[in-house]
Amino acid sequence: MIIVVMGVSGSGKSTIGRALAQRLRRPFYDGDDFHPPENVEKMSKGLPLDDRDRLPWLVRLQDLIQDHGHRGETAVLACSALKKRYRDQLRSGADEVRFVYLQGDFDLIWKRMRARSDHYMKSDMLQTQFEALEIPSPDEALIVDIELGIDQIADGVLEQLMRESAGRNGES
C-alpha cells in the first residue's frame, strides 16, 4: 500500500507522514523534495504554481508510487494533492493507494505557518491553497482532524487502515 498524506501547506503532511512511516518501518518521501528547481524558486517568491508547473512534479510522484506498487512495497508520501485530478493521476496505474486528508481550518493552519521559518512556501500563499483545495469525499480519503496530536493522528490512521484492509480481506 502507498499512503499519500495530503492537505494544504502547514497541515502537517510531512510530520504525520514521517510518523506513519516510522511506525510502519517503511520509507517516507516528502513530495516537496520532488519539485523541479523552477517550482521551488517560483514558490519562494510567493508565486503559486499553476497546472503546467505541477505536471512534471506529479509525473515524478506518480512514477515513485508505481515503482513501489509494482514491487509490492509499502511507502508513505506527503503530497498536497489538492485537486481530485491530481489525486487521480497519482493513483493511476497503482492498485493500493490510500489518501489521508489532514483537515484543519484556515486560522489554525495560518498560525502554524506563521511560526515556520524553514520552509520555502510562504504563509501568505495559504489562501490560494484553500481556494484550490477540492476536499476529498470519505470514499476517496481517510479524513483526519489536525487538532489531534501527532501520536493520536498516526495511531488512528494506522488503526483505520488496518480495519479497512481486514474488511477487504473478509476478516472481522
CB 164 within 8 A of CB 33: no
Give, in order, the Cα–Cα distances in Å from 101 to each of 42, 77, 82. 25, 12, 10
Dihedrals φ, ψ of 145, to 5°?
-80, 125
| Domain membership flag for residue 30 | yes
What separation, in Å, do the N-terminal and C-terminal C-alpha atoms of the chain show? 20
Q: Which residues have C-beta within 8 Å of that of residue 98, sequence separation ≥ 6?
A: 1, 2, 3, 4, 141, 142, 161, 164
| Domain membership flag for residue 150 | yes
| Domain membership flag for residue 168 | no
| Domain membership flag for residue 22 | yes
Give the number of domains in the chain: 1
Q: For position 53, which CATH number holds?
A: 3.40.50.300
What is the pTM (predicted TM-score) of this model? 0.90
Q: Report the DSSP beta bridge partners of residue 71.
A: none
Note the pLDDT of residue 122: 57
Residue with cell 505541477: 54
Domain that holds residue 89: 2-162
| Domain membership flag for residue 114 | yes
Note the pLDDT of residue 154: 97
Tens digit of pLDDT at every position of the chain (172 positions): 899 999 998 899 999 999 999 999 999 999 999 999 999 888 878 787 888 999 999 999 999 999 999 999 999 999 999 999 999 999 998 878 999 999 999 989 888 877 766 655 555 678 888 988 999 999 999 999 999 999 999 999 999 998 988 877 765 4
